[in-house]
Structure 1
């Protein structure tokens, strides 16, 4: 099978400003599903700290909680540290071994863990408390699918929802039929027969939460050739926009969507559709929608001082922390 260029091994962007603890929020078939909890270094004991949930991307097929190019730009830890926020980054089970109802079940289990035993665990370990009344969520790419699901399920508890180049229109022909011979992220298409053989060789009984670069060929090749729904499943949970399309859905009061105008992995039209549906069908939700030059992951290259980014972050902070 065609191979991807090597994924850059970036240094942990949280390490300079945070200390990190690892917790298990769920166990499936003896496999622990874990989350990293990043706590700012410069906090005093017994402080109540705001919370940012961070959902990784990877087409629901690849990625994990420490694959930085699919998780956050270098500016995000700086922003979180500025407001002394706890950043919580979970893994979740991956397709095609796990289908979308079970992936969503992991997200709900994670949410319940954060709102259940986690505050006591953190207080015991670090002598600080998460202020769950000040909670925001961010997801990039497939992490946007995760974040949107949780935002629709818990709109009153999430103050700000941040979706970066989100993979949300999962019913579109881009995934149902496939993107065909279009170049994705500068790479040629993967051969269809090789993608089929890869799928046929997989152990569908396995529990996978750590999808490295070796899974990218199936993630991208499957979408190029219309296998996305074979891998994700066709359950209603796959199609995260259904609730908004039906009308009556609720979302957090502030949503920030950003997308690269030249995105070759998730077309800009998906975010345009999402913004339009929110404005039509989610009364009381304010949407900020930024479209900037660049491909998938464009804002990973944006400096923290960038004027438009600072404007957006001020809006996020106002909604999240007021």
Structure 2
């Protein structure tokens, strides 16, 4: 059995809120190298990670989607990683997911420092040095966090093939061959839900048919809801005086889940509206999640990490 990619870290779980008696947790990953490096307290930057899964599936510690290069970069920077769960659709709608994200950020600034100090590992968090990252739906939540919750004070965003425009960005062309299912499966799932049901963790591929069904049957926008805060391009255009932090966009040319053209268009619009906001666009060969097993030696990853390091 191969070693877990989280092996260089010491994990600890904390509850940042409770919904209908269901705890929503965040895992704090502390690099072992800084714990073992000495007894004097070390103040560490923070890397917040939002997991992907189309807002339908996923888990804060599902390592198959957590890029190796990103974990190694955090370890090299001596950063503490904080990766939260959030409510999933269709049990929750988009507004409720945003509520979770906002409450998580409030916990980061109100409770994280005390939780880390209580671990007695000789480390502290530097809440003045926060970066946020995420893959797919996690990239979407990362950018929304930066634009909707300025109190979170993140310095830089890493968006890996994020669905920056849910009205147009999800491709359904190849989904049927990936996860065949009956047309009524999603409706039947929704009809079977008990009132007040909460689901915060559903590791892939167990619920792949549900996720693919939501996308293929065009139910994503219906489940997401009409809250204008959920549509990043609209938020960007209304942001006004909000200072958008630097963003590194990563996307694969052959992505058949989240369309590359939407990331390109969003990057262009960002440059037009916020010409002073640094933005790096890395387009490489590969499909959705193409970078998860890359280790960081690749030149484009080194370039991107240097971009992040400058602002973090």
TM-score, normalisation: structure 1:
0.88
Q: In the alignment, what sits opposite 1:241?
A: 233
Secondary structure in 1 matching 2:211:
helix
Which of 78, 89, 93 matches 1:84?
78
1:167–1:266 CA contact under 8 A, matched in 2? yes
Which position in structure 2 is the counterpart of 1:163?
A: 159
Indicate yes or no: 2:46 matched with 1:51.
yes
**Structure 1 residue 115 corresponds to structure 2 residue 115:** no
Among 129, 137, 140, the alignment partner of 2:132 is 137
Matching residue of 2:211: 219
Change (3 A) 1:273 1:20: same
Structure 2 unaligned regions, length at least 5? none
Mapping 1:211-290, distance limit 5 Å? 211-212=202-203, 213-246=205-238, 248=240, 250-290=242-282
User: TM-score normalized by structure 2?
Assistant: 0.91
Q: Distance in 1 between matches of 2:43 and 2:146?
A: 23
Q: CA separation in 1, counterparts of 2:180 and 2:174?
A: 6
**Structure 1 position 23 matched with structure 2 position 14:** yes
User: Of residues 27, 33, 50 in structure 2, which corresponds to 1:42?
Assistant: 33
Distance 2:310 2:288 in 1: 27
Q: Counterpart of 2:142?
A: 147
Task: Determine the C-alpha separation between the residues in 1 that align with 2:288 and 2:127.
Answer: 31
Distance 1:10 1:220 in 2: 29
Deviation of 1:250 after TM superposition, in Å, equals 3.4
- Unmatched 5+ stretches in structure 1: 1-8
Alpha-carbon distance between aligned partners in 1 of 2:41 and 2:217, rounded to the nearest angstrom: 53
1:317–1:83 CA distance, 2 compared to 1 (3 A): same
Q: Is 1:199 aligned with 2:190? A: yes
Counterpart of 1:97 in 2: which secondary structure?
Answer: coil
SS at match of 2:291: helix
SS for the counterpart of 2:103 is helix
Q: Deviations over 1:40-60 (max 9, x none)?
A: 112244111011001100011
Alignment deviations for residues 266-287 of structure 1 (CA, whole Å, 9 cap, x no partner): 1111211220121111242111
1:189 deviates by 5.1
User: What are the equivalent positions in structure 2 for 1:57-76 lying under 5 Å apart?
Assistant: 57-70=52-65, 72-76=66-70
Cα shift at 1:11: 5.1
CA displacement, residues 95-124 of structure 1 (integer Å, 9 cap, x when unaligned): 111111111111111111110122122112
1:282 and 1:186 mapped to 2: Cα distance? 40
